A and B are shown apart, each in its own frame.
Chain A
Amino acid sequence: MKKTPLNQVHRELGARMVDFGGWDMPVQYAGVIEEHLAVRQAAGLFDVSHMGEIEVSGAEALAFIQSLTINDASQLVDGQVQYSALCYPEGGVVDDVTLYRFSATRYLFCVNASNTDKDFAWMEQVLAAANFPTVTLINCSAAYAQLALQGPKAQEILAGLTELSLDEIVYYHFRQGEVAGVPMIVSRTGYTGEDGFELYLPAEAAVAVWQRLMAAGAPLGLQPIGLGARDTLRLEKGYALYGHELSRDISPLEAGLAWITKLDKGEFVGKAALVTQKEIGVPRRRVGLLMEERGIPREGYPVFAGERQVGVVTSGTMSPSLKVGIALALVEPQSAAVATVLEVAVRERRMRARVVRLPFVK
Protein backbone atom coordinates (compact mmCIF):
# COMPACT_ATOMS: atom_id res chain seq x y z
CA MET A 1 0.00 0.00 0.00
CA LYS A 2 1.16 3.56 -0.70
CA LYS A 3 2.17 5.70 2.27
CA THR A 4 2.39 9.44 2.71
CA PRO A 5 5.49 10.95 4.37
CA LEU A 6 3.41 11.28 7.57
CA ASN A 7 2.48 7.61 7.89
CA GLN A 8 4.60 7.04 10.99
CA VAL A 9 3.32 10.25 12.60
CA HIS A 10 -0.27 9.03 12.25
CA ARG A 11 0.60 5.68 13.80
CA GLU A 12 2.34 7.36 16.73
CA LEU A 13 -0.77 9.48 17.26
CA GLY A 14 -2.81 6.27 17.54
CA ALA A 15 -4.78 6.85 14.35
CA ARG A 16 -6.94 4.09 12.95
CA MET A 17 -5.56 3.44 9.48
CA VAL A 18 -7.54 2.27 6.45
CA ASP A 19 -6.91 1.41 2.84
CA PHE A 20 -8.19 4.45 0.95
CA GLY A 21 -7.86 3.82 -2.77
CA GLY A 22 -4.57 2.03 -2.27
CA TRP A 23 -3.25 4.52 0.31
CA ASP A 24 -2.68 3.69 3.97
CA MET A 25 -4.49 6.68 5.49
CA PRO A 26 -5.77 7.77 8.93
CA VAL A 27 -9.57 7.52 9.11
CA GLN A 28 -9.77 8.82 12.68
CA TYR A 29 -7.68 9.83 15.69
CA ALA A 30 -9.84 10.93 18.65
CA GLY A 31 -13.12 10.03 16.92
CA VAL A 32 -15.05 11.32 13.93
CA ILE A 33 -17.51 13.50 15.85
CA GLU A 34 -14.90 15.13 18.09
CA GLU A 35 -12.65 15.82 15.10
CA HIS A 36 -15.53 17.20 13.05
CA LEU A 37 -16.54 19.62 15.77
CA ALA A 38 -12.92 20.67 16.33
CA VAL A 39 -12.75 21.83 12.70
CA ARG A 40 -16.06 23.70 12.95
CA GLN A 41 -15.19 25.35 16.27
CA ALA A 42 -11.37 25.69 16.31
CA ALA A 43 -9.10 24.05 13.74
CA GLY A 44 -8.00 20.74 12.29
CA LEU A 45 -4.90 19.52 10.48
CA PHE A 46 -5.33 16.97 7.68
CA ASP A 47 -2.67 14.97 5.88
CA VAL A 48 -3.87 15.05 2.29
CA SER A 49 -0.52 14.15 0.77
CA HIS A 50 -2.21 11.36 -1.15
CA MET A 51 -3.75 13.97 -3.47
CA GLY A 52 -2.09 14.16 -6.87
CA GLU A 53 -0.31 17.14 -8.42
CA ILE A 54 0.18 17.50 -12.16
CA GLU A 55 2.07 20.44 -13.64
CA VAL A 56 1.28 21.88 -17.05
CA SER A 57 3.79 24.28 -18.59
CA GLY A 58 4.62 25.82 -21.95
CA ALA A 59 3.58 28.70 -24.17
CA GLU A 60 0.32 26.89 -25.06
CA ALA A 61 -0.44 25.75 -21.51
CA LEU A 62 -3.62 27.82 -21.25
CA ALA A 63 -4.92 26.74 -24.66
CA PHE A 64 -4.35 23.10 -23.72
CA ILE A 65 -6.04 23.49 -20.33
CA GLN A 66 -9.01 25.23 -21.99
CA SER A 67 -9.43 22.22 -24.28
CA LEU A 68 -9.18 19.81 -21.33
CA THR A 69 -11.33 21.36 -18.57
CA ILE A 70 -14.94 22.51 -18.31
CA ASN A 71 -14.36 25.76 -16.39
CA ASP A 72 -12.92 28.86 -18.03
CA ALA A 73 -9.23 28.95 -17.10
CA SER A 74 -8.73 32.16 -19.07
CA GLN A 75 -10.40 33.96 -16.17
CA LEU A 76 -7.53 33.07 -13.82
CA VAL A 77 -4.82 35.54 -12.85
CA ASP A 78 -1.44 34.61 -11.38
CA GLY A 79 -1.89 33.36 -7.83
CA GLN A 80 -5.51 32.32 -8.32
CA VAL A 81 -7.15 28.92 -7.95
CA GLN A 82 -10.15 27.55 -9.84
CA TYR A 83 -12.41 24.58 -9.17
CA SER A 84 -12.88 22.67 -12.40
CA ALA A 85 -13.37 19.21 -13.90
CA LEU A 86 -12.20 17.03 -16.76
CA CYS A 87 -14.88 15.29 -18.80
CA TYR A 88 -15.03 12.42 -21.24
CA PRO A 89 -16.44 13.10 -24.72
CA GLU A 90 -19.73 11.50 -23.54
CA GLY A 91 -20.02 14.13 -20.77
CA GLY A 92 -19.16 11.96 -17.76
CA VAL A 93 -16.47 13.13 -15.36
CA VAL A 94 -12.85 11.97 -15.42
CA ASP A 95 -12.14 13.89 -12.22
CA ASP A 96 -12.87 17.12 -10.39
CA VAL A 97 -9.78 19.22 -9.80
CA THR A 98 -8.41 22.49 -8.55
CA LEU A 99 -6.26 24.45 -10.96
CA TYR A 100 -3.48 26.78 -9.78
CA ARG A 101 -2.06 29.49 -12.06
CA PHE A 102 1.57 30.42 -11.32
CA SER A 103 1.94 32.31 -14.61
CA ALA A 104 0.49 32.36 -18.11
CA THR A 105 2.80 29.47 -19.01
CA ARG A 106 2.76 27.41 -15.80
CA TYR A 107 -0.18 25.78 -14.00
CA LEU A 108 -0.70 23.04 -11.41
CA PHE A 109 -3.64 20.66 -11.16
CA CYS A 110 -4.50 19.15 -7.79
CA VAL A 111 -6.42 15.92 -8.45
CA ASN A 112 -8.06 13.15 -6.45
CA ALA A 113 -5.55 10.63 -5.11
CA SER A 114 -7.07 7.51 -6.58
CA ASN A 115 -7.51 9.24 -9.96
CA THR A 116 -3.97 10.58 -10.30
CA ASP A 117 -2.64 7.97 -12.72
CA LYS A 118 -5.89 7.91 -14.70
CA ASP A 119 -5.93 11.72 -14.94
CA PHE A 120 -2.31 11.92 -16.02
CA ALA A 121 -2.87 9.29 -18.71
CA TRP A 122 -6.03 11.14 -19.82
CA MET A 123 -4.18 14.45 -20.05
CA GLU A 124 -1.42 12.82 -22.10
CA GLN A 125 -4.04 11.33 -24.39
CA VAL A 126 -5.85 14.64 -24.90
CA LEU A 127 -2.51 16.36 -25.45
CA ALA A 128 -1.39 13.76 -27.99
CA ALA A 129 -4.61 14.18 -29.96
CA ALA A 130 -4.19 17.95 -30.12
CA ASN A 131 -1.48 20.15 -31.50
CA PHE A 132 0.24 21.89 -28.60
CA PRO A 133 3.92 21.09 -29.18
CA THR A 134 5.13 23.47 -26.44
CA VAL A 135 3.14 21.86 -23.64
CA THR A 136 4.86 19.68 -21.04
CA LEU A 137 2.99 17.55 -18.49
CA ILE A 138 4.69 16.40 -15.29
CA ASN A 139 3.14 14.15 -12.67
CA CYS A 140 4.90 15.58 -9.61
CA SER A 141 2.62 13.97 -7.01
CA ALA A 142 5.42 12.18 -5.20
CA ALA A 143 7.40 15.39 -4.72
CA TYR A 144 4.60 17.13 -2.86
CA ALA A 145 3.18 16.59 0.57
CA GLN A 146 -0.09 18.38 1.18
CA LEU A 147 -1.52 19.53 4.49
CA ALA A 148 -4.92 21.12 5.00
CA LEU A 149 -5.24 23.47 7.96
CA GLN A 150 -8.94 24.20 8.34
CA GLY A 151 -11.20 25.96 10.78
CA PRO A 152 -11.88 29.40 12.25
CA LYS A 153 -8.49 29.39 14.05
CA ALA A 154 -6.51 28.37 10.95
CA GLN A 155 -5.20 31.81 10.10
CA GLU A 156 -4.20 32.59 13.68
CA ILE A 157 -2.22 29.34 13.84
CA LEU A 158 -0.53 29.81 10.49
CA ALA A 159 0.27 33.49 11.07
CA GLY A 160 2.74 32.60 13.83
CA LEU A 161 4.81 30.48 11.46
CA THR A 162 5.06 32.66 8.35
CA GLU A 163 6.01 36.12 7.13
CA LEU A 164 3.31 35.96 4.45
CA SER A 165 0.50 38.50 4.83
CA LEU A 166 -2.30 35.99 5.11
CA ASP A 167 -5.01 38.67 4.93
CA GLU A 168 -3.88 39.33 1.37
CA ILE A 169 -4.50 35.72 0.36
CA VAL A 170 -8.23 35.79 -0.28
CA TYR A 171 -10.46 32.78 -0.89
CA TYR A 172 -9.32 30.66 -3.85
CA HIS A 173 -5.99 32.46 -4.13
CA PHE A 174 -2.47 31.39 -3.16
CA ARG A 175 1.01 32.70 -2.53
CA GLN A 176 4.40 31.05 -2.42
CA GLY A 177 6.41 31.64 0.71
CA GLU A 178 7.92 30.03 3.78
CA VAL A 179 6.01 28.41 6.61
CA ALA A 180 8.14 27.12 9.49
CA GLY A 181 11.16 27.91 7.32
CA VAL A 182 10.01 25.65 4.48
CA PRO A 183 9.14 27.08 1.04
CA MET A 184 5.65 26.09 -0.04
CA ILE A 185 2.39 27.03 -1.74
CA VAL A 186 -0.08 28.55 0.72
CA SER A 187 -3.57 28.34 -0.75
CA ARG A 188 -6.76 29.67 0.83
CA THR A 189 -8.86 26.68 -0.18
CA GLY A 190 -10.28 23.58 1.44
CA TYR A 191 -12.92 20.89 1.51
CA THR A 192 -14.55 21.62 4.86
CA GLY A 193 -16.48 24.83 4.20
CA GLU A 194 -14.49 26.56 6.94
CA ASP A 195 -11.84 29.21 6.47
CA GLY A 196 -8.45 27.64 6.08
CA PHE A 197 -5.45 26.79 3.97
CA GLU A 198 -4.04 24.01 1.88
CA LEU A 199 -0.25 23.82 1.96
CA TYR A 200 1.78 22.18 -0.81
CA LEU A 201 5.29 21.48 0.40
CA PRO A 202 8.29 19.30 -0.33
CA ALA A 203 7.54 15.73 0.80
CA GLU A 204 10.73 15.55 2.86
CA ALA A 205 9.65 18.56 4.98
CA ALA A 206 6.20 17.16 5.80
CA VAL A 207 6.97 15.74 9.24
CA ALA A 208 8.73 18.88 10.48
CA VAL A 209 5.97 21.20 9.23
CA TRP A 210 3.23 18.97 10.66
CA GLN A 211 4.95 19.03 14.07
CA ARG A 212 5.41 22.82 14.01
CA LEU A 213 1.77 23.38 13.06
CA MET A 214 0.51 21.00 15.74
CA ALA A 215 2.69 22.64 18.38
CA ALA A 216 1.57 26.13 17.36
CA GLY A 217 -2.08 25.13 17.12
CA ALA A 218 -2.57 22.86 20.10
CA PRO A 219 -3.19 25.76 22.53
CA LEU A 220 -5.92 27.01 20.15
CA GLY A 221 -7.62 23.62 19.95
CA LEU A 222 -5.98 22.28 16.79
CA GLN A 223 -6.49 18.54 16.34
CA PRO A 224 -5.34 16.04 13.71
CA ILE A 225 -8.29 15.07 11.51
CA GLY A 226 -8.83 11.81 9.65
CA LEU A 227 -10.70 10.94 6.49
CA GLY A 228 -13.86 10.11 8.45
CA ALA A 229 -14.40 13.71 9.54
CA ARG A 230 -13.16 14.99 6.18
CA ASP A 231 -16.14 13.20 4.65
CA THR A 232 -18.75 14.42 7.18
CA LEU A 233 -17.40 17.98 6.93
CA ARG A 234 -17.68 18.07 3.13
CA LEU A 235 -21.10 16.43 3.20
CA GLU A 236 -22.53 19.07 5.56
CA LYS A 237 -21.43 21.64 2.96
CA GLY A 238 -22.87 19.65 0.06
CA TYR A 239 -19.53 19.25 -1.74
CA ALA A 240 -19.35 16.53 -4.36
CA LEU A 241 -16.89 13.65 -3.94
CA TYR A 242 -15.57 11.76 -6.94
CA GLY A 243 -16.84 8.18 -7.00
CA HIS A 244 -20.05 9.25 -5.27
CA GLU A 245 -21.64 12.40 -6.75
CA LEU A 246 -19.24 12.44 -9.71
CA SER A 247 -18.18 9.60 -11.99
CA ARG A 248 -17.83 8.51 -15.57
CA ASP A 249 -21.60 7.97 -15.55
CA ILE A 250 -22.58 11.29 -13.96
CA SER A 251 -22.21 14.58 -15.81
CA PRO A 252 -21.26 17.83 -14.08
CA LEU A 253 -24.68 19.23 -15.00
CA GLU A 254 -26.37 16.40 -13.14
CA ALA A 255 -23.98 16.74 -10.22
CA GLY A 256 -24.82 20.36 -9.50
CA LEU A 257 -21.66 21.70 -11.15
CA ALA A 258 -23.37 23.78 -13.85
CA TRP A 259 -21.70 26.78 -12.19
CA ILE A 260 -18.27 25.56 -13.35
CA THR A 261 -19.47 24.22 -16.72
CA LYS A 262 -18.73 27.05 -19.13
CA LEU A 263 -20.40 25.99 -22.34
CA ASP A 264 -19.66 29.32 -24.02
CA LYS A 265 -15.87 29.32 -23.56
CA GLY A 266 -14.85 27.48 -26.76
CA GLU A 267 -14.20 23.84 -27.53
CA PHE A 268 -13.34 21.34 -24.79
CA VAL A 269 -13.61 17.60 -24.35
CA GLY A 270 -17.21 16.73 -23.52
CA LYS A 271 -18.69 20.06 -24.61
CA ALA A 272 -20.96 18.70 -27.36
CA ALA A 273 -22.47 16.10 -25.04
CA LEU A 274 -22.99 18.67 -22.28
CA VAL A 275 -24.59 21.19 -24.66
CA THR A 276 -27.01 18.48 -25.80
CA GLN A 277 -27.76 17.48 -22.23
CA LYS A 278 -28.45 21.07 -21.29
CA GLU A 279 -30.82 21.50 -24.26
CA ILE A 280 -32.88 18.36 -23.66
CA GLY A 281 -32.62 18.58 -19.87
CA VAL A 282 -30.67 16.45 -17.41
CA PRO A 283 -32.18 13.06 -16.53
CA ARG A 284 -31.13 13.39 -12.87
CA ARG A 285 -30.21 16.14 -10.44
CA ARG A 286 -28.11 16.10 -7.33
CA VAL A 287 -30.13 17.20 -4.30
CA GLY A 288 -29.62 17.51 -0.57
CA LEU A 289 -31.91 15.38 1.59
CA LEU A 290 -32.55 16.13 5.26
CA MET A 291 -34.08 13.22 7.14
CA GLU A 292 -37.34 13.98 8.90
CA GLU A 293 -37.31 10.67 10.73
CA ARG A 294 -34.67 8.91 12.77
CA GLY A 295 -32.43 6.96 10.48
CA ILE A 296 -29.23 7.47 8.56
CA PRO A 297 -29.24 7.51 4.78
CA ARG A 298 -26.31 5.65 3.22
CA GLU A 299 -24.82 5.40 -0.23
CA GLY A 300 -26.92 3.16 -2.45
CA TYR A 301 -30.19 3.47 -0.53
CA PRO A 302 -33.11 3.97 -2.97
CA VAL A 303 -35.14 7.19 -2.90
CA PHE A 304 -38.91 7.04 -3.46
CA ALA A 305 -41.73 9.44 -4.30
CA GLY A 306 -44.76 7.44 -3.24
CA GLU A 307 -44.37 3.94 -4.67
CA ARG A 308 -42.02 4.98 -7.43
CA GLN A 309 -38.26 4.93 -7.09
CA VAL A 310 -37.00 8.33 -8.26
CA GLY A 311 -33.34 8.14 -7.35
CA VAL A 312 -30.56 6.89 -5.15
CA VAL A 313 -28.43 8.20 -2.29
CA THR A 314 -24.85 8.92 -3.41
CA SER A 315 -23.45 9.88 0.04
CA GLY A 316 -25.08 9.92 3.46
CA THR A 317 -24.21 10.27 7.09
CA MET A 318 -25.36 11.45 10.46
CA SER A 319 -24.50 15.14 10.50
CA PRO A 320 -22.37 15.79 13.58
CA SER A 321 -23.42 19.47 13.57
CA LEU A 322 -27.17 18.96 13.04
CA LYS A 323 -27.46 15.52 14.69
CA VAL A 324 -29.80 14.27 11.96
CA GLY A 325 -29.29 12.15 8.88
CA ILE A 326 -28.26 14.02 5.72
CA ALA A 327 -27.62 12.80 2.20
CA LEU A 328 -26.72 13.82 -1.27
CA ALA A 329 -28.82 11.97 -3.81
CA LEU A 330 -29.33 11.83 -7.56
CA VAL A 331 -33.06 12.05 -8.30
CA GLU A 332 -35.23 12.68 -11.34
CA PRO A 333 -35.74 16.41 -11.99
CA GLN A 334 -39.46 16.44 -11.12
CA SER A 335 -38.56 15.28 -7.59
CA ALA A 336 -35.67 17.70 -7.15
CA ALA A 337 -37.41 20.92 -6.10
CA VAL A 338 -36.54 22.30 -2.67
CA ALA A 339 -39.14 21.32 -0.04
CA THR A 340 -40.25 18.18 -1.92
CA VAL A 341 -40.87 15.38 0.56
CA LEU A 342 -39.41 12.05 -0.55
CA GLU A 343 -38.70 8.77 1.19
CA VAL A 344 -35.41 6.96 1.66
CA ALA A 345 -35.52 3.18 2.02
CA VAL A 346 -33.44 2.58 5.13
CA ARG A 347 -33.17 -1.21 5.18
CA GLU A 348 -36.80 -2.46 5.25
CA ARG A 349 -38.32 0.89 6.29
CA ARG A 350 -39.23 3.98 4.30
CA MET A 351 -38.23 7.18 6.05
CA ARG A 352 -39.32 10.71 5.17
CA ALA A 353 -36.71 13.12 3.90
CA ARG A 354 -37.06 16.66 2.59
CA VAL A 355 -35.18 18.16 -0.34
CA VAL A 356 -33.32 21.15 1.09
CA ARG A 357 -31.09 23.87 -0.26
CA LEU A 358 -27.37 23.19 0.09
CA PRO A 359 -25.30 23.56 2.15
CA PHE A 360 -26.90 21.71 5.06
CA VAL A 361 -24.75 23.72 7.46
CA LYS A 362 -24.21 27.41 6.68
Chain B
Amino acid sequence: MEFPEELKYTEEHEWVMVEGELAVIGISDFAQDALGDVVFVELPEVGAEVEAGKAFGVVESVKAVSDIYAPISGTVEEINEDLLDTPEIINTSPYEDGWLIKIRMRDASDVEDLMDAEAYQALIAEES
Protein backbone atom coordinates (compact mmCIF):
# COMPACT_ATOMS: atom_id res chain seq x y z
CA MET B 1 0.00 0.00 0.00
CA GLU B 2 1.31 3.44 -0.92
CA PHE B 3 1.17 6.73 0.98
CA PRO B 4 2.92 9.46 -1.01
CA GLU B 5 5.10 11.72 1.13
CA GLU B 6 3.95 14.92 -0.57
CA LEU B 7 0.33 14.45 0.54
CA LYS B 8 -1.46 15.26 3.80
CA TYR B 9 -3.99 12.87 5.30
CA THR B 10 -7.04 12.82 7.58
CA GLU B 11 -8.34 10.41 10.18
CA GLU B 12 -11.26 9.75 7.83
CA HIS B 13 -8.79 8.53 5.18
CA GLU B 14 -8.92 11.43 2.75
CA TRP B 15 -5.77 12.95 1.25
CA VAL B 16 -4.98 16.54 0.26
CA MET B 17 -2.46 17.84 -2.23
CA VAL B 18 -1.84 21.58 -2.29
CA GLU B 19 -1.45 23.23 -5.71
CA GLY B 20 -1.01 26.96 -5.01
CA GLU B 21 -4.34 28.24 -3.69
CA LEU B 22 -6.08 25.05 -4.66
CA ALA B 23 -6.23 21.75 -2.84
CA VAL B 24 -6.89 18.45 -4.56
CA ILE B 25 -8.80 15.94 -2.41
CA GLY B 26 -9.15 12.19 -2.73
CA ILE B 27 -9.34 9.02 -0.64
CA SER B 28 -6.32 7.03 0.43
CA ASP B 29 -5.12 3.67 -0.84
CA PHE B 30 -6.15 2.24 2.52
CA ALA B 31 -9.67 3.65 2.10
CA GLN B 32 -10.17 2.34 -1.42
CA ASP B 33 -8.91 -1.08 -0.39
CA ALA B 34 -11.23 -1.18 2.61
CA LEU B 35 -14.21 -0.15 0.48
CA GLY B 36 -13.65 -2.69 -2.27
CA ASP B 37 -14.95 -2.20 -5.81
CA VAL B 38 -16.13 1.41 -6.08
CA VAL B 39 -19.26 1.58 -8.24
CA PHE B 40 -20.71 5.03 -7.62
CA VAL B 41 -19.50 8.46 -6.58
CA GLU B 42 -21.60 11.47 -5.63
CA LEU B 43 -19.79 14.81 -5.65
CA PRO B 44 -20.84 18.41 -4.92
CA GLU B 45 -21.47 20.98 -7.66
CA VAL B 46 -18.75 23.36 -8.77
CA GLY B 47 -19.14 26.51 -6.67
CA ALA B 48 -20.45 24.68 -3.60
CA GLU B 49 -18.90 25.42 -0.23
CA VAL B 50 -17.35 22.55 1.70
CA GLU B 51 -16.63 22.75 5.42
CA ALA B 52 -13.75 21.01 7.16
CA GLY B 53 -14.98 17.89 8.92
CA LYS B 54 -18.33 17.87 7.11
CA ALA B 55 -19.38 15.31 4.50
CA PHE B 56 -19.21 16.66 0.95
CA GLY B 57 -19.87 13.53 -1.06
CA VAL B 58 -20.37 9.81 -1.08
CA VAL B 59 -18.39 6.86 -2.38
CA GLU B 60 -20.28 3.59 -2.80
CA SER B 61 -18.82 0.16 -3.20
CA VAL B 62 -20.92 -2.84 -4.17
CA LYS B 63 -21.67 -3.45 -0.51
CA ALA B 64 -21.49 -0.14 1.30
CA VAL B 65 -22.07 3.60 1.27
CA SER B 66 -19.34 5.82 2.73
CA ASP B 67 -19.40 9.57 3.32
CA ILE B 68 -16.36 11.56 2.30
CA TYR B 69 -15.39 14.38 4.63
CA ALA B 70 -13.75 17.63 3.66
CA PRO B 71 -10.25 17.83 5.15
CA ILE B 72 -10.31 21.64 4.87
CA SER B 73 -12.84 24.36 4.06
CA GLY B 74 -13.21 26.07 0.72
CA THR B 75 -15.13 26.44 -2.53
CA VAL B 76 -15.36 23.64 -5.08
CA GLU B 77 -13.39 24.68 -8.15
CA GLU B 78 -13.51 21.46 -10.15
CA ILE B 79 -14.85 17.93 -9.79
CA ASN B 80 -13.45 14.79 -11.36
CA GLU B 81 -16.10 14.11 -14.00
CA ASP B 82 -14.37 10.88 -15.08
CA LEU B 83 -15.61 9.30 -11.86
CA LEU B 84 -19.23 9.50 -12.99
CA ASP B 85 -18.67 6.89 -15.71
CA THR B 86 -15.59 5.11 -14.37
CA PRO B 87 -15.71 5.25 -10.58
CA GLU B 88 -13.41 2.21 -10.44
CA ILE B 89 -10.40 4.45 -11.14
CA ILE B 90 -10.56 5.26 -7.43
CA ASN B 91 -9.48 1.65 -6.87
CA THR B 92 -6.81 1.57 -9.55
CA SER B 93 -5.38 5.07 -9.03
CA PRO B 94 -6.49 6.60 -5.73
CA TYR B 95 -3.85 9.37 -5.72
CA GLU B 96 -3.87 10.37 -9.39
CA ASP B 97 -6.70 9.55 -11.83
CA GLY B 98 -9.07 8.86 -8.91
CA TRP B 99 -8.95 12.33 -7.31
CA LEU B 100 -12.38 13.64 -6.28
CA ILE B 101 -12.53 17.44 -6.13
CA LYS B 102 -10.35 20.54 -6.24
CA ILE B 103 -11.22 23.34 -3.85
CA ARG B 104 -10.09 26.91 -3.45
CA MET B 105 -8.92 26.94 0.15
CA ARG B 106 -10.42 29.43 2.56
CA ASP B 107 -7.28 29.37 4.68
CA ALA B 108 -4.24 27.54 3.31
CA SER B 109 -2.78 27.19 6.80
CA ASP B 110 -5.54 24.65 7.61
CA VAL B 111 -3.47 22.07 5.76
CA GLU B 112 -0.84 22.24 8.48
CA ASP B 113 -3.28 20.62 10.90
CA LEU B 114 -3.45 17.45 8.80
CA MET B 115 -1.27 14.36 9.18
CA ASP B 116 1.82 13.66 7.16
CA ALA B 117 2.32 10.26 5.54
CA GLU B 118 4.22 8.88 8.51
CA ALA B 119 1.58 9.88 11.07
CA TYR B 120 -1.18 8.53 8.82
CA GLN B 121 0.54 5.18 8.43
CA ALA B 122 0.89 4.96 12.19
CA LEU B 123 -2.85 5.63 12.49
CA ILE B 124 -3.89 2.88 10.11
CA ALA B 125 -1.43 0.46 11.66
CA GLU B 126 -3.35 1.04 14.88
CA GLU B 127 -6.74 0.63 13.18
CA SER B 128 -5.98 -2.57 11.30
Contacts and interface: CB of A to CB of B under 8 A. Distances in A.
Nearest to B61: A32
A296 B36 contact: no
A294 interface: yes
Nearest to B63: A228
Interface residues of A, number: 18
Given A296-B60, A318-B60, A347-B58, A32 B40 contact: no
A95 B65 CA distance: 28
Contact of B63 (A32, A34, A294, A347): A32
B22 interface: no
A16 B36 CA distance: 10
A32 B65 contact: no
Given A228-B63, A298-B65, A32 B36 contact: yes
A302 interface: no
A313 to B, nearest CB: 13
A320 B62 contact: yes
B78 interface: no
Given A32-B62, A298-B65, A347-B58, A318 B36 contact: no
B58 A31 contact: no
Given A228-B63, A298-B65, A32 B58 contact: no
B35 to A, nearest CB: 11
Which range contains the number of B residues in contact with the other chain?
10 to 19
A360 to B, nearest CB: 15
A302 to B, nearest CB: 15
B72 to A, nearest CB: 23
Contacts of A16: 36
A33 interface: yes
Given A318-B39, A318-B62, 18 more contacts: A27-B63, A32-B36, A32-B61, A32-B62, A32-B63, A33-B37, A33-B39, A33-B62, A228-B62, A294-B40, A294-B84, A296-B39, A296-B40, A296-B65, A298-B65, A317-B63, A318-B40, A347-B42
A294 B58 CA distance: 13
Contacts of B65: 296, 298
Contact of A31 (B37, B40, B42): B37
B86 to A, nearest CB: 11
Nearest to A346: B42
Contact of A32 (B37, B42, B84): B37
A234 to B, nearest CB: 13
Interface in A1-41: 16, 27-28, 31-34
B67 to A, nearest CB: 10
Given A317-B62, A347-B58, A228 B36 contact: yes
Contacts of A150: none
A335 interface: no
B62 A232 contact: yes
A57 to B, nearest CB: 40
Nearest to B39: A318
Nearest to B37: A33
Contacts of B37: 31-34
Contacts of A27: 63
B127 to A, nearest CB: 14
A75 to B, nearest CB: 38
Contacts of B63: 27, 32, 228, 231, 317
A232 to B, nearest CB: 6
Nearest to A16: B36
Contacts of A256: none
Contacts of A320: 62
13 contacts: A16-B36, A32-B61, A32-B63, A34-B37, A228-B62, A232-B62, A294-B84, A295-B40, A296-B65, A317-B62, A317-B63, A318-B40, A320-B62
A16 B37 CA distance: 13
B63 to A, nearest CB: 5
Nearest to A294: B40
Interface in A331-350: 347
A303 B40 CA distance: 20
Interface in A80-107: none
A28 B84 CA distance: 25
A10 B39 CA distance: 25
A36 to B, nearest CB: 8
A228 B63 CA distance: 7
B82 to A, nearest CB: 14
